[in-house]
A and B are shown apart, each in its own frame.
Chain A
Amino acid sequence: MKEETGAVKRQEEKVGITAYLALFFALVFFSGILGELSKIGDGKWAWLGAFDYVTLCGKFGILGELTEGSGTLAANFRGIGGSGPRDAFLFGVSLIPPIMFALGVVRIINNLGALKAASKLLTPILRFILGVPGSSAISLVSNFQSSDVGATMIKNLKEEELINEKEQLILTAFEYSCPAIMVNYFSIGAAVFAFLEVPLYIPMVVMIVCKFIGGNIMRLIAGRLIKGAA
C-alpha cells in the first residue's frame, strides 16, 4: 500500500552526482583547508588558495606608504582608534563584501542540490545519532540554510504523523541552537573572522556537534517532559 506523503516524496527525489560534487565543493571551499594547504612549502601550492573562500575574498587596499618613523597609517578606510556607532558602521560596511560573496556561492551550491545530497547521506544514520527517523533528514539539513524552512518542515512532519512529539522536540532542540548556521556563520559570524587564527571549519564543526548534543539532551529528557506536561 502506497503511503507517500509530501515529506517522503521530497526524500525520494533523485539526487544526481552534481549534487554530491556541489556538496563536496562547498565543504572544501568554506572549510579553510585549502587556504592552510596553500601556505605550506615555498609557494608551490599557492594555487590551491584560488579555491578557498577566505583567500578569494581578497583585501581592501592600504591607504598608502609612509617613510619609516613618520607615524602610522590605518590598514584600511576604517581608520585607527575609532569607537562607538561611527566605528561600528564602518566595521559593518567592511564585512559586507565577503558576506555577499559567501551567500552568492551558497545559493549556487544549493541550487545544484547540495542540501538534498547531504540529507540523503544523513538519512541512514539519523536514528542512531539523534533518535529521529530518516524522513526528518531534509528538515535537519534545511535548518542549516534557513531557520524558518527547517521549523516549518518539523511542523509538517508532525502533522503527517511521520514523527511523534518526542521526535518533534528532539528536532526542535537541534534546530533552535545555531539555526541557519551556513548563512549565519558566514554573515553574522564573519564579524570575528579577522581575529581568528584557526581554519574556518573548526568553530563550525564544534557548533554542529553542539547542535547534536542539544538534540541528544532533549532525547534523554523528552519522555519525562512530555509525561510531566500531560
Chain B
Amino acid sequence: MTEKKENFLNAFSNGAYSGLMIGIKNIIPNLIFAYAIMELLNITHLMDYVEVIFRPVMMLFGLPGVAAPSLLMGFLTTSGGLGIVTNLATNGLLDAKQVAMLLVGNMCLGASIQYIGRVLATADIRPKFYPVMMVISVINAFIGMAIMKIIL
C-alpha cells in the first residue's frame, strides 16, 4: 500500500482550502438562511410570541426565550443555529456566558438530520435505533448547557 505523503506546505494549503470550501458551501449559505429567518421573525413581531412560548424551558438554563429558535434551527443546520446566536448576541440579547452555553448546545445536537445519513446509516446500525440516537443528542445538548451554566 503506497501512501502519498503531502509536504508541510501542501498539507497546510489543502487544509486551508477545505476550510474555504466549508465556509463557502456550508457556513455562508446557512448564515444567510438563519439571518433571513431572523429578519422575518423580527419584522412580523413573531419573535415576541416565540419568546413567550419558549421562555419556561429556556429559563431553566438562564437563557431568554428568543434563544430557542437557535436550537431548533441548529437541529437542521449548526451554522444556522449559531447564526441566530450571533444575531442575538450582536443585538445585545445574549451575554458571553449564554453564547458559550448555546455554542455547546448547538454543536451537541447540531445538524442531526444531516448526520443521519453520514453517521447513523454509514455506521450501519439498525434504522429503528435512529430516533434513540437523536434523543441522546438532544439530551447531550441540555446536559452540556447545564454543565456550562454551572462552570461559568
Which A positions have Cβ atoms within 8 angstroms of B?
83-85, 87-89, 91-93, 95-96, 99-108, 111, 147-148, 150-152, 154-155, 158, 168-169, 171-173, 175-179, 181, 183-185, 187-189, 191-192, 195-198, 202-203, 206-207, 209-211, 213-214, 217-218, 221, 225, 229
- For the complex formed, measure the closest distance between the CB of B107 and the CB atoms of chain A, giving whole angstroms: 5
- Cβ contact within 8 Å between A188 and B82: yes
- Cβ contact within 8 Å between B108 and A192: no
- Cβ contact within 8 Å between A147 and B82: no
List, in ascending order, chain A residues with CB within 8 A of B45's CB: none
Measured in the bound complex, the distance between the Cα atoms of B116 and A147 in whole Å is 11
Given contacts A92-B31, A103-B18, contact A176 B100 (CB under 8 A): no
Measured in the bound complex, the distance between the Cα atoms of B74 and A191 in whole Å is 13
Chain B contact residues, majority secondary structure: helix
List, in ascending order, chain A residues with CB within 8 A of B133's CB: 172-173, 176, 218
List, in ascending order, chain A residues with CB within 8 A of B22's CB: 99, 103, 183, 187-188
| Residue of B20, B28, B108 touching A88 (CB-CB under 8 A) | B28
| Residue of A88, A104, A196 touching B15 (CB-CB under 8 A) | A104
Given contacts A202-B151, A213-B140, contact A196 B103 (CB under 8 A): yes
* 24 CB-based A-B contacts, threshold 8 Å: A84-B36, A85-B32, A103-B15, A104-B11, A107-B12, A107-B18, A111-B6, A147-B118, A151-B118, A172-B120, A176-B112, A177-B136, A179-B119, A187-B19, A187-B22, A188-B110, A191-B31, A191-B79, A191-B86, A195-B99, A202-B100, A207-B144, A209-B144, A211-B140
Task: Name the residue on A nearest B5 (C-beta).
Answer: A111
Chain A contact residues, majority secondary structure: helix
- Cβ contact within 8 Å between A100 and B122: no
Q: Total interface residues on B, using CB and 8 Å?
A: 70
| Residue of A85, A107, A168, A189 touching B125 (CB-CB under 8 A) | A168
Is B34 an interface residue when CB atoms closer than 8 A count as contact?
yes
- Cβ contact within 8 Å between A214 and B23: no
List, in ascending order, chain B residues with CB within 8 A of A218's CB: 132-133, 136
Interface positions, chain B 83-119, Cβ under 8 Å from A, are 83, 85-86, 89, 94, 96-97, 99-100, 102-104, 107-110, 112, 115, 118-119
Measured in the bound complex, the distance between the Cα atoms of B103 and A195 in whole Å is 10
Is B139 an interface residue when CB atoms closer than 8 A count as contact?
yes
| Residue of B39, B83, B103, B125 touching A203 (CB-CB under 8 A) | B103
- For the complex formed, measure the closest distance between the CB of B69 and the CB atoms of chain A, giving whole angstroms: 15
- Cβ contact within 8 Å between A103 and B19: yes
- Cβ contact within 8 Å between A158 and B124: yes
- Cβ contact within 8 Å between A89 and B147: no
